[in-house]
């Protein structure tokens, strides 16, 4: 969805033509896979981080166009709403001191962007959901300028045919409606890309799916929405409901939502692209002039433009990506599970854990997905989103009897997944000093049972206990979060509570 699209009305013939082009693209992808045309292993990874703009009061600032004009860097782009930005870090080869390099690049980029935002009295914050967002902030008039956002909103609203209902029951229950997809903009995430060969794709994707619950448990950072305390990681239910093209009748029939964990382990990247065509009608039936099969017949590499555009409107938590670099096609797994923040060190620690554990799980002789039903992985994901660092997951038992059994997420990570992550990072060639520092951050989060969500909740409740009103407590918590985020020490070291005696507002 990063490509420029041109808004316009779509007719019946447009959708039929687009479906035909999608089938041609899928056939083209199948031929590319059969002919082994994909790039050789390069161990490439990439990072994207979605950001929020806030004022000194902790409230959102609707001014991404002004801030981007001052930043004047192609590394920063708009996101769905006017209080969102996204920063993209150029691909890196996994190995050596790559995580320290990423950390330094991010520090430099975000410090520069924050200075530029300060010129218009705004600041940048990395957080899963900004606690101070109000329902009036998430309306269609606050969507970013640009045809792609307007068009995507119009098409999802038209497919839905009625207002969107948000109904999330966590610590408290939130029920409200929206006339647009704008509430989706509350969800700011980190996307981790890993380029893989077709032969390894299924194993890496399956491993990524299996470990999503552990990622969320240790990395949850979105406990609040519209003044309500919901799930420890409220982004997934919010994202699903705010983009749901299904009215209640289709939901009751079991039609799949566009924001989707999935329903099965796979054996090829082809499986996911084929599911996209089989299950999901086109939202943006925009056709390219390319004849993908003709390009293949001529010995060229097709863009598969319709396939990639359609794939961008199916919001899997681990998404397949087809791309072309230097004239050679490649495949990536895009991990979209993690919330942004709390600090750069935390973001890089989450990345190190993911890249390490996915490598190790993908190479196990008895892979975890052969020992655990897919439904268990999906239930684990839901459990981790609800309970965060206190989640209790189901995981394959060690030993001769097999099966799955319950385990605290922090114990699973410390006793089984961190050693795997360490072995995986060694296999990538990451230097021990990088490996030990960043995995040590994950270890300490587990030992202390602290992540971004637990810190936000405890600080908020301490403020309430002091007699501060809910809105003021959320704003004060946000301001304190911003201070500590910019100080840069990882979240497990943050002191709980508010230092200021009187909150603003």
CA distances from 177 to 81, 158, 341 (A): 18, 16, 28
Residue 50 bridge partners (DSSP): 86
Q: How many CA atoms lie within 13 A of 37 on its CB side?
A: 20
CA distances from 88 to 68, 83, 96, 190, 290 (A): 13, 17, 21, 10, 28
Beta pairing, strands 315-316 & 259-260? parallel
Map tokens 């554990």 to a residue. Answer: 357
> How confident is the prediction along the chain (505 residues), in pLDDT tens digits per residue?
444 444 456 777 888 999 999 999 999 999 999 999 998 888 999 999 999 999 999 999 999 999 999 999 999 998 889 999 999 999 999 999 999 999 999 999 999 999 999 999 999 999 999 999 999 999 988 888 877 788 888 889 988 899 999 999 999 999 999 999 999 999 999 999 999 999 999 999 999 999 999 999 999 999 999 999 999 999 999 999 999 999 889 999 999 999 999 999 999 999 999 999 999 999 989 999 999 999 999 999 999 999 999 999 999 999 999 999 999 999 999 999 999 999 999 999 999 999 999 999 999 999 999 999 999 999 999 999 999 999 999 999 987 677 899 999 999 999 999 999 999 999 999 999 999 999 999 999 999 999 999 999 999 999 999 999 999 999 999 999 999 999 999 999 999 999 866 445 5
The number of angstroms, rounded, from the C-alpha of 150 to the middle of its chain's C-alpha atoms is 22
> CA dihedral in degrees (473, 82, 222, 284; nearest 10)?
150
Task: Single out the residue of 350, 74, 336 nearest to residue 188, CA to CA.
Answer: 336
Task: Single out the residue of 65, 221, 56 nearest to residue 124, CA to CA.
Answer: 56
Task: Quote the CA–CA distance of 56 and 372 in Å, as a whole number.
Answer: 48
Letter string b/e over residues 296-331, b meaning 16 or more CB atoms within 10 A of that residue's CB: beeeeebbbbbbbbbbbbbbbbbbbbbeeeeeebbb
């Amino acid at each position: 969805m990063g490509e420029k699209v041109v808004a316009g009305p779509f007719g019946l013939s447009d959708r039929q033509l687009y479906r035909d082009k999608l089938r041609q693209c899928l056939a083209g992808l199948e031929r590319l896979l059969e002919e082994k045309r994909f790039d050789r292993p390069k161990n490439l990874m990439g990072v994207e981080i979605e950001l929020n703009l806030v004022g000194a009061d902790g409230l959102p600032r609707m001014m991404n166009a002004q801030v981007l004009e001052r930043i004047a860097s192609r590394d920063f782009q708009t996101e769905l709403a006017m209080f969102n930005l996204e920063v993209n870090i150029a691909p890196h080869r996994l190995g050596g001191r790559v995580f320290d390099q990423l950390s330094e690049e991010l520090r430099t980029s975000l410090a520069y962007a924050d200075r530029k935002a300060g010129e218009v009295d705004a600041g940048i914050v990395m957080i899963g959901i900004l606690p101070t967002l109000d329902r009036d902030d998430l309306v269609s008039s606050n969507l970013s300028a640009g045809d792609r956002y307007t068009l995507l909103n119009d098409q999802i609203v038209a497919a839905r045919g009625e207002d969107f209902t948000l109904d999330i029951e966590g610590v408290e229950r939130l029920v409200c409606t929206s006339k647009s997809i704008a509430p989706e903009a509350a969800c700011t995430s980190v996307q981790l890309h890993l380029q893989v060969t077709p032969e390894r794709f299924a194993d890496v994707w399956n491993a990524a799916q299996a470990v999503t619950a552990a990622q969320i448990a240790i990395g949850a950072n979105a406990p609040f929405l519209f003044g309500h305390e919901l799930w420890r990681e409220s982004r997934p239910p919010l994202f699903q409901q705010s983009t749901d093209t299904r009215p209640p009748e289709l939901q009751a029939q079991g039609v799949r939502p566009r924001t989707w964990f999935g329903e099965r382990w796979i054996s090829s990247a082809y499986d996911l692209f084929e599911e996209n065509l089989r299950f999901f009608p086109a939202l943006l039936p925009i056709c390219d002039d390319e004849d993908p099969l003709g390009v293949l017949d001529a010995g060229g590499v097709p863009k598969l433009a319709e396939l990639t555009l359609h794939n961008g409107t199916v919001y899997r938590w681990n998404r397949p990506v087809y791309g072309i670099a230097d004239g050679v096609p490649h495949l990536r797994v895009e991990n979209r599970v993690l919330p942004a923040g709390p600090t750069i060190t935390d973001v890089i620690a989450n990345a190190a854990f993911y890249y390490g554990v996915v490598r190790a799980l993908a190479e196990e002789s008895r892979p975890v997905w052969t020992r655990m039903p897919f439904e268990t992985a999906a239930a684990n994901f839901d459990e981790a989103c609800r309970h965060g660092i206190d989640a209790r997951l189901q995981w394959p038992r060690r030993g001769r009897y097999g099966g799955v059994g319950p385990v605290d997420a922090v114990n699973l990570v410390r006793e089984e997944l961190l050693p795997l992550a360490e072995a995986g990072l060694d296999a990538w060639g990451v230097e021990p000093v990088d490996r030990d520092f960043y995995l040590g951050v994950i270890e300490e989060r587990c030992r202390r049972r602290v992540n971004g969500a637990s810190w936000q909740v405890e600080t908020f409740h301490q403020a309430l206990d002091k007699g501060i009103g809910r809105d003021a407590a959320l704003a004060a918590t946000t301001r304190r979060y911003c201070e500590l985020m910019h100080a840069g020490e990882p979240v497990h070291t943050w002191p709980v509570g508010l230092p200021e005696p009187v909150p603003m507002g």
